[in-house]
Structure 1
Amino acid sequence: MFKIIIQNFHLEKVFWILKTKLKYMILIGLICGVISGSVGFIIRKETYKAQISMYVYSSPDYITDNGINLSSADIISASTLLNSYMQILMSDSFLKSVLEEAELDPMLYDEEVLRDEISSASVGGTAVFKVYVVDTNPYNAMLIANTIGKLAPQKIISIVKSGGIEILDEATLPTQPYQSTRLLIFIAIGVFAGGFLALMFFIIQGFLDTRYRRLYEVQDMFNIPIIGVVPEIEDRNEADEPDVILRQDSPFVLKEAYNDLRANLLFLGKGEKCPVYAITGADYDEGKTTTSINIAKAFAMMGKKTLLIDADLRNGNIANALNIQADSGLSECLAGLKELNINKDVIENLDVLTTGVYPPNPTELLIRDNWKELVNEAKSLYEVIIIDTPSIGVVSDGLEVVNVATSFVVVIREQATRFEREELIIRKLEAVDADVCGFVYNGISVNSEDYNHRDYVNGGDYGKRSNAGVQHRKIFKKKSGSTDKSNTAKE
């Protein structure tokens, strides 16, 4: 798992996950906030605060002598006793006296509980200090505070042996909570925690999703060039052929995609008079068959005599895609049952050899000498040969084509082909010393940053000055009752 995450890690993908999953993270955060707020409401706890005020004298005689005027020196002297008095109030012996005097429930209160509930603070520049008691029971808060006020003067003087204390204000029954569990804090914690956990989940899920999403993911993994980028086509016209099959009246972007691919293949033919290109892929439904047909048509449209061979003897679909009715095909020819039957009625300059009946032994047929002889003989009659092979990630039949192919073209489909599957077939091809001339990146979104003709399709300057965008948008027009969303023909 960690290997996949590291291999799949890219900052752009992190931002893409954030962008695409943001609404779900917000929703999960809000749900967690509601749950957290509900829990906070159930377990909420309110506390009440009672307080008493005391005045400290530097001499016990000052408490009963109303005729004495205190000097600033007396106040300073009294202030020095405050720390000692406060320490005594928190001592176990004093707190035990408070528990006994107040007759508090020993199951609920002890010295440690009281020490947590009691606090004190001096009033700056004076000899006054206040004692605070915080308790969940308002009556107990008042009772404890007044008990402290009752016991403190005598207890403190008996211990310190100097100074004196006078109670200024007794505690009253608190009617409003001093502090309560804040639901907003619980809600905020829930929202943050839920959103963060959702973010981590989606990031891990995103990095474990090894489907190709951008061109750079292919380029980062392999030193093999991308020789063609084919856009996603959503709907089909009412014509007999699907719109993904190349025709003279196909939209600009579809024709341009295969023109680019054809131009690249012309330079990758190794100087052969009749190069043989084997089209393969990792799995089914990547558009391998459609790519084979359209490459062959692209060469035929430029005037090159082209032969398209359906060598997928397990799942070949070219005959159905091109509406070819053939009595026999490649399998019968290789098995020696019938003569070679090539269809010449598709378009000008394009001949097609279909699979024929699916044989029980396709691998054995493709390693026979008459297969090599068939292709070698065809090379003397044609300028380009395109072979549609089985998906190498599914069966090994496609590898047998290495004995006749000039180069392999590997089809990758966006949001379908996985890293590990593509790596597997490239290793298989390298193991048999096959030449992989390039990838065809199929089904790219017309809104993708990697799509060169995005400006044409989406109303950019070029699209406004030409009919390219209009032509393509016709393909995307939704038709009532249409359910086919595939951008390639089924293999």
Structure 2
Amino acid sequence: METFDIKYLFQIIKKYKLLIFSSAFIGTLIATFVTFFYLTSIYSASTQILVTQANDSKNVQSSEVQANIQMVNTYSIILKSKDLMKEIAKDYPKYTANEISKNLIVTSDSNSQVINVTVKNQYPRVAVAIANDITDKFIKESKDLIKTNEVSVLSRAYIEDSEHPSGPNHQIHLMIGLLAGLFLAFIIIVLKEMFDTTLKTEESIEKILQLPILGTINHINKPGKGGKRHEKNKNQG
């Protein structure tokens, strides 16, 4: 039964190969058009902020390092605060505070005192400018909010690092288009097979009619030049 199923599957693929290839090609073509001509390229700019103790002691205790790591989470929340976003939006009238916040990503590695600030924008220079402005304003405000810690710029954003778009991901979109085309072909094949009531095999005839097959007539080939017509009969009883 398993051999028959595999054989039948290959027969279906062979029968609808043109439909399968056409759907896959059209899906990939549509995804290519949307990706390269419709979607806007997005650029990223990143800065890094270092969190340390406010004192200048060279002997940093492990407890102090752990406290700095815990403060990173607090600073990450402050970085995306509404007040800070509104201050940034004043310098960029084309963008609202919510739009800037949606395109701002604040992350930190586990057991790290470094905060990564990433800004996404359709213009690389704007992304770099906003990332640096957020970092500068955050450092200025954090000194007034929390006295026990010191925050400083570990690295700034530069246009040289943001010239290449970070999105959209062309490969993923093309793969989605290919899979969508194959899925559409699958749906069409399933519907065609479900509504196809013709009997194609001896087994299906016996199963539906519940009658034994007495004989079969094979395909009769047309005679060629100087050839003979052959007819093969096979009787079963």
TM-score > 0.5, shorter chain as reference: yes
Q: Please tell me whether the aligned partners of residues 17 and 206 of structure 1 are also in contact (alpha carbons under 8 angstroms).
A: no
Whole-angstrom CA distance in 2 between matches of 1:208 and 1:201: 11
1:92 corresponds in structure 2 to: 82
Q: Deviations over 1:144-193 (max 9, x none)?
A: 12212221123123233432222233322244224122333232222222
CA-CA distance at 1:137 after TM superposition: 1.4
Whole-angstrom CA distance in 1 between matches of 2:224 and 2:151: 99
Whole-angstrom CA distance in 2 between matches of 1:238 and 1:163: 99
Equivalent residue for 1:169, pick from 148, 152, 155:
155
Whole-angstrom CA distance in 1 between matches of 2:84 and 2:40: 28
Whole-angstrom CA distance in 1 between matches of 2:53 and 2:66: 8
Partner SS state of residue 131, structure 1:
strand
- Give the number of the structure with larger relative contact order, counting CA–CA contacts within 8 Å between residues 6 or more apart: 2
What are the residue-to-residue correspondences of 1:87-126 with 2, within 5 Å?
87-100=77-90, 103-106=91-94, 109-122=95-108, 125-126=111-112
Whole-angstrom CA distance in 2 between matches of 1:123 and 1:207: 54
Partner SS state of residue 42, structure 2:
strand
Q: Please tell me whether the aligned partners of residues 44 and 180 of structure 1 are also in contact (alpha carbons under 8 angstroms).
A: no
TM-score (norm 2): 0.81
Relative to structure 1, the CA distance from residue 129 to residue 181 in structure 2 (aligned partners, 3 Å threshold; closer, same or farther) is closer
Equivalent residue for 2:40, pick from 25, 31, 45:
45
Matched, 1:231 2:202: no
1:69 corresponds in structure 2 to: 58
CA-CA distance at 1:233 after TM superposition: 0.4
The one-letter amino acid paired with 1:133 is V
Structure 2 gap ranges (5+): none
Q: Please tell me whether the aligned partners of residues 69 and 113 of structure 2 are also in contact (alpha carbons under 8 angstroms).
A: yes
Higher helix share: 2
Q: Deviations over 1:321-355 (max 9, x none)?
A: xxxxxxxxxxxxxxxxxxxxxxxxxxxxxxxxxxx
What are the residue-to-residue correspondences of 1:143-158 with 2, within 5 Å?
143-158=129-144
Whole-angstrom CA distance in 1 between matches of 2:142 and 2:225: 101
The one-letter amino acid paired with 2:22 is L
Relative to structure 1, the CA distance from residue 206 to residue 128 in structure 2 (aligned partners, 3 Å threshold; closer, same or farther) is closer
What are the residue-to-residue correspondences of 1:74-85 with 2, within 5 Å?
74-85=64-75
Whole-angstrom CA distance in 2 between matches of 1:214 and 1:98: 73
Q: Please tell me whether the aligned partners of residues 17 and 203 of structure 1 are also in contact (alpha carbons under 8 angstroms).
A: no
Identity %: 19
Whole-angstrom CA distance in 1 between matches of 2:197 and 2:112: 73
Structure 1 gap ranges (5+): 1-9, 63-67, 244-250, 265-491
1:219 corresponds in structure 2 to: 206
1:34 corresponds in structure 2 to: 29
Whole-angstrom CA distance in 2 between matches of 1:38 and 1:143: 31
The alignment yields a C-alpha RMSD, in angstroms, of 2.9
The one-letter amino acid paired with 1:91 is S
Partner SS state of residue 215, structure 2:
strand
Whole-angstrom CA distance in 1 between matches of 2:213 and 2:155: 87
Partner SS state of residue 180, structure 1:
coil
The structure having more radius of gyration, on CA atoms, is 1
CA-CA distance at 1:41 after TM superposition: 1.3
Whole-angstrom CA distance in 1 between matches of 2:115 and 2:224: 89
CA-CA distance at 1:207 after TM superposition: 3.2
Aligned length: 230
TM-score (norm 1): 0.42
1:185 corresponds in structure 2 to: 172
The one-letter amino acid paired with 1:183 is H
Equivalent residue for 1:131, pick from 117, 132, 148:
117
Q: Please tell me whether the aligned partners of residues 47 and 135 of structure 2 are also in contact (alpha carbons under 8 angstroms).
A: yes
Whole-angstrom CA distance in 2 between matches of 1:129 and 1:217: 68
